[in-house]
Amino acid sequence: MRPATSESRWVQWLLIGIALVFLLGFLLLPLIAVFTEALRSGWVAYKGAILEHDAWAAIKLTLLTAAIAVPANLLFGLAAAWAIAKFEFRGKTLLISLIDLPFSVSPVVSGLVYVLIFGRQGWAGPWLMDHDIKVLFAVPGIVLATVFVTFPFVARELIPLMQEQGTDYEQAALSLGAGGWQTFWRVTLPSVKWALLYGVLLCNARAMGEFGAVSVVSGHIRGRTDTMPLHIEILYNEYQFAGAFAVASLLALLALLTLTVKSYLEWRHGDELSATRRH
Amino acid sequence: MPDSSARRRAAIPGFGLTLGFTLTYLSLIVLIPLAGLFFKSAGLGWAGFWRVVTSPRALAALRLSFGAALAGAFINAIFGTLVAWVLVRYRFPARRLFDAIIDLPFALPTAVAGIALTSLYAANGWLGRFLEPHGIKVAFTPLGVVVACAFIGLPFVVRTVQPLLEEAERELEEAAASLGASRLQTVLRVLLPTVLPGVLTGFALAFARAAGEYGSIIFIAGNRPLVSEIAPLLIVIKLEEYDYAGATSVAVAMLVLSLLLLVIINGLQAWAGGRHRRAA
């Protein structure tokens, strides 16, 4: 006889069946479609589409953008977590909600705010034109928009964890004569390293894949201000489906890598991540 | 003792440096640019703002963005809860793998999701070829927008319900069963109230994300004005026409609407949580 706190065998299998069919059809099928479409015309065409001049330029711009945006937000995440977790001050809750703010703004609006500042009719627009500085429709604008949308990722992994950890170890190190930096490098940083990696991982995935915000500020200049997601859009709209899916498959591989490392961190170092990530 | 704890706290260095950096960076990247949006819209005046937002095209776009986001969040609430239940309560092959791919919509860039969904649901796609003969057109219709919204919002509900189910006390279920409740009664009257706040939180997060979504929708939507054009796309179009005022008005309307709906949902959540506590 089955225990009173579980369902009968056939109900269990029915529910598992529905869930798995849903996940396969709804999540896995799109992923499989990306790779199938990318390889439809064979390996040679696939390699050609990726090594093509404009695609290669887009890959390099995407890597450059992430290489600036991720370290910037990493530095910010560490500073914010240190201030919020190690000290008491008024307005802390408000500060935490403000840090999460970019998540509740539409990506397109995130791009729009920079157009309003740096655009031709924007506040800084005329001054920038006089000094021949290009922000909008150039790399600085793309980096700024990416920093905006990936802003909270590292901070929100570190803040809850460092709050849980308290200040006991830092107190001990300081009372034994360690300096402030030494305490940070030798005591705090090692205790949050996995959460830090976790935040960087998610931050990087979003930075390389951001579309809406970057699309608004980029100007879509082929080979110059096109990131990989924007290049996918251009190829797709020109009906070059194989090329679009070839570039898309690289980003899909990045997503798979991100998910793999993320699951590994949750499984292997779950107790060193913030509480919401341990499952 | 309070005295010594105050002294202990003062001993950690770096408060001024880290808080100063945090506030400066936050202001420069997020707060000042966002405040600029509201300043700009205030400069338009109420009449100008209202004229843009109540134009048929803007109204249709806002209705589609928020309507499809609501529909997508409903799908997520139902299937997300079911998936969370199956992942937490049952054991089956490749469970870990399925658990890991739940986050795929977070990790997969939206443009990639957009073209993949479009190719699946187009008339000759793997799924479209079975749906279209039955008269169900997904790609290039508002239904496609709902599908894209449901795709990107799925992880939110699963990830908020999962921990609640893991922590739910089995004793309560045993007590209900021993008092003569059927399994279905126990699930509906004991377990559901426990996870309902989580479902609502996930619903709210999925809704907020989908309402502002752009990348995964524009490929599958078909983007016909008044029919399948979403609000973020209308902003982009107005920007391309150098209509900054129009773009700003739609953006402010979107922000205000999402804020309003999130307040309502937060209220619902507090109500559900309160009801649960009283019942328990």
Q: Are the beta carbons of B156 and B82 closer than 8 angstroms?
A: no
ipTM rounded to 2 decimals: 0.93
For residue A131, give every residue at least 6 positions away whose Cβ sits within 8 Å of its Cβ, in sequence order, or none: none
pLDDT(B49) > 70: yes
**pLDDT band with cut points at 50, 70 and 90 for residue B164:** very high
Of the candidates A206, A19, A182, which has an alpha carbon nearest to the alpha carbon of residue B107?
A: A206
Q: Are the beta carbons of B172 and B128 closer than 8 angstroms?
A: no
> Checking phi first, is residue A121 left (phi over 0); if not, alpha (psi -120 to 50) or beta?
alpha
Specify the amino acid at residue B269: Q
Q: Do B251 and A108 touch (CB under 8 A)?
A: yes
Helices H / strands E in chain B, number of each: 15, 0
pLDDT(B39) > 70: yes
For residue A59, give every residue at least 6 positions away whose Cβ sits within 8 Å of its Cβ, in sequence order, or none: A50, A228, A247, A250
Extract the runs of DSSP E, i.e. beta strands, from chain B.
none
What local confidence, expressed as pLDDT, does residue B3 receive?
A: 46
Q: Do B239 and A236 touch (CB under 8 A)?
A: no
Q: Do A30 and B113 touch (CB under 8 A)?
A: yes
How far apart are the C-alpha atoms of B189 and B173, rounded to whole Å?
A: 10
Chain A contact for B126 (CB, 8 A cutoff):
yes
Q: How far is CA B172 from CA B57, B178, B180, B193, in A?
A: 53, 10, 13, 12
Q: How far is CA A274 from CA A188, A193, A199, in A?
A: 14, 12, 11
Q: How far is CA B92 from CA A16, A82, B95, in A?
A: 8, 42, 6
How far apart are the C-alpha atoms of B143 and A64, rounded to whole Å?
A: 37
Shortest Cα distance, chain A CAs vs residue B278, angstroms: 23
How far apart are the C-alpha atoms of A73 and A151, rounded to whole Å?
A: 6
**pLDDT band with cut points at 50, 70 and 90 for residue B168:** confident
Half-sphere exposure of B173 (CA within 13 A, CB side): 18
How far apart are the C-alpha atoms of B269 and B198, rounded to whole Å?
A: 8
Shortest Cα distance, chain A CAs vs residue B197, angstroms: 16
Shortest Cα distance, chain B CAs vs residue A180, angstroms: 6
Q: Are the beta carbons of A17 and A187 closer than 8 angstroms?
A: no
Q: Do A16 and B86 touch (CB under 8 A)?
A: yes
Question: What is the three-class DSSP state of A65?
Answer: helix
Report the first-to-last Cα separation within chain A, whole angstroms: 31
Q: Which of B65, B82, B115, B158 to mutate to test the interface with A (most CBs of A within 10 A)?
A: B115
Q: Are the beta carbons of A117 and B30 closer than 8 angstroms?
A: no
Q: Mind listing the pLDDT tens digit of every residue in chain A (279 residues)?
A: 556 677 888 999 999 999 999 999 999 999 999 999 999 989 999 999 999 999 999 999 999 999 999 999 999 999 999 999 999 999 998 999 899 889 889 999 999 999 999 988 888 888 898 898 889 999 999 999 999 999 999 999 999 999 999 899 999 999 998 888 999 999 999 999 999 999 999 999 999 999 999 999 998 888 889 999 999 999 999 999 999 999 999 999 999 999 999 999 998 888 888 777 765
Nearest to A83 among B19, B30, B102 (CB): B19
Q: How far is CA B126 from CA B79, B123, B240, in A?
A: 22, 9, 35
Q: Which of B112, B167, B241 to mutate to test the interface with A (most CBs of A within 10 A)?
A: B112
pLDDT(B278) > 80: no
The model's pLDDT over B62-82, given as tens digits with 9 standing for 90+, comes to 999 999 999 999 999 999 999
* Average pLDDT of the residues in B231-250: 93
How far apart are the C-alpha atoms of B210 and B212, rounded to whole Å?
A: 5
Shortest Cα distance, chain B CAs vs residue A203, angstroms: 10
Chain A contact for B265 (CB, 8 A cutoff):
no
For residue B177, give every residue at least 6 positions away whose Cβ sits within 8 Å of its Cβ, in sequence order, or none: A4, A5, B183, B186
What local confidence, expressed as pLDDT, does residue A23 receive?
A: 95
